């Protein structure tokens, strides 16, 4: 793998995303900004609208959709289960254990993964990455919320909390509109487009803001476990599942890249909302994001061959 290939791949695909998040980081250091409020805006407004818009516009056939969604669900389940079993063996208490499972199972597939796939592999791979992101968004806003709330709630309370998550309703509404081929009025369509176009920049800025608030965690074993599962086990499991599901070309590229992303910044929002170990979660997100170019750059070069 030539050094020039690695450098140009990093500069062309990863650096633009890191520069925008870096602007958010500097903003958080220089000004007093409530990142939790921005996180709630992303969680309750931008994220559901983005998912709704992507679901309406996805142009893949049923076989592609089924393969990608199955790939995503199985991968998240495997990594989450590995995190749960490893965390139990290491004796972590429940809030720390749930933080590890949450950050290991859910990668930064939206505000980091989508632009990265778009830059590296173009629109064909982006269609599959979009479906991967939509699937993880559904999982994150259902099972992710359930995992986070189990840090302190019982299962019944956690399940009832799912009905307060707006993305669940966005998915249901998009499915109904697609099923009955209903076209949105121009005013609503433009509203959705406007909010959707602002979603990813807002998420990238939020990533930088959250990283600027990082509190270093003393639970180094927990940090290493989660970051290692996402950056090292994620790509390996992704390659194995891509073979198992028969993914080729753009489908293989888009799905494996998404499987290899560091922990999602939105996990910090859930950690704050549900009282998990927020210093651990932010440290995992920060460490994974900083280290991710070391694993993602050679991955992109390899997937282009």
Nearest CA among 164, 134, 161, 133 for reference residue 147: 161
pLDDT of residue 192 exceeding 90: yes
pLDDT of residue 169 exceeding 90: no
Strand partners, 107: 263
Identify the band that residue 71 occupies on the pLDDT scale cut at 50, 70 and 90.
Answer: very high
Q: What is the pLDDT of residues 124-138, one digit of tens each?
A: 898 899 889 888 888
Please report the sign of the dihedral spanned by the C-alpha atoms of residue 82, residue 238, residue 60, residue 54.
positive
pLDDT of the residue at 298: 95
pLDDT of residue 6 exceeding 70: yes
DSSP of 16-66: HHHHHHHHHHHHHHHS---HHHHHHHIIIIIHHHHHHHHHHH----HHHHH
Alpha-carbon distances of 127 from 59, 77, 85, 197, 246, rounded to whole Å: 7, 22, 33, 16, 17
Q: Could you tell me the end-to-end alpha-carbon distance of the chain, in angstroms, rounded to an integer?
A: 11
Instruction: Tell me the average pLDDT across 115-130.
Output: 89
Q: Which sequence spans correspond to the domains of the chain?
A: 50-303
**Among 52-56, 60-64, 233-237, which range has the highest average pLDDT?**
233-237
pLDDT of residue 120 exceeding 90: yes
DSSP of 92-144: --HHHHHHHHHHHH-B-IIIIIHHHHHHHHHHHHHHHHHHHHHHHHHHIIIII
Instruction: Tell me the average pLDDT across 55-70.
Output: 84
Q: Which CATH number fits domain 50-303: 1.10.600.10, 3.40.309.10, 1.10.1060.10, 1.20.1530.20?
A: 1.20.1530.20
pLDDT of residue 161 exceeding 70: no
Distance of CA 107 to the CA centre of its chain: 4
pTM of the model: 0.84
User: Which two three-digit tokens encode residue 210?
Assistant: 């959250």
Cα dihedral 106→29→203→123 (10° resolution): -90
As a whole number of angstroms, the distance between CA 255 and CA 109 comes to 10
Q: What is the pLDDT of residues 217-272, one digit of tens each?
A: 668 899 999 999 999 999 999 999 999 999 999 999 999 999 999 998 878 777 87
Instruction: Tell me the average pLDDT across 105-119.
Output: 90
The SS3 of residue 191 is helix
pLDDT of the residue at 253: 97
């Amino acid at each position: 793998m030539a050094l020039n290939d690695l450098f140009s791949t990093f500069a062309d695909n990863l650096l633009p995303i890191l520069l925008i998040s870096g602007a958010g980081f500097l903003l958080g250091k220089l000004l007093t900004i409530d990142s939790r409020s921005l996180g709630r805006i992303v969680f309750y407004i931008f994220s559901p609208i983005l998912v709704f818009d992507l679901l309406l516009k996805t142009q893949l056939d049923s076989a592609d959709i089924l393969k990608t969604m199955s790939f995503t669900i199985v991968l998240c389940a495997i990594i989450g289960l590995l995190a749960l079993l490893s965390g139990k063996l290491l004796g972590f208490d429940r809030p720390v254990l749930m933080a590890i499972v949450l950050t290991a199972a859910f990668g930064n597939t939206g505000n980091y993964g989508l632009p990265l796939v778009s830059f590296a592999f173009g629109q064909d791979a982006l269609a599959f990455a979009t479906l991967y992101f939509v699937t993880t968004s559904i999982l994150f806003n259902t099972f992710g919320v359930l995992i986070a709330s189990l840090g302190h709630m019982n299962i019944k309370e956690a399940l009832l909390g799912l009905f307060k998550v707006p993305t669940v309703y966005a998915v249901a509404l998009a499915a109904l509109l697609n099923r009955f081929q209903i076209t949105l009025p121009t005013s609503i369509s433009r509203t959705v487009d406007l909010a959707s176009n602002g979603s990813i920049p807002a998420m990238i800025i939020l990533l930088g803001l959250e990283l600027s608030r990082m509190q270093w965690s003393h639970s180094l074993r927990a940090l290493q476990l989660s970051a290692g599962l996402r950056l090292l086990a994620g790509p390996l499991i992704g390659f194995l599942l891509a073979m198992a599901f028969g993914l080729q070309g753009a489908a293989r590229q888009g799905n494996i890249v998404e499987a290899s992303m560091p922990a999602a910044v939105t996990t910090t929002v859930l950690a704050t909302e549900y009282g998990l170990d927020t210093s651990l979660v932010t440290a995992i997100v920060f460490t994974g994001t900083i280290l991710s170019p070391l694993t993602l750059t050679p991955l992109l070069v390899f997937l282009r061959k």
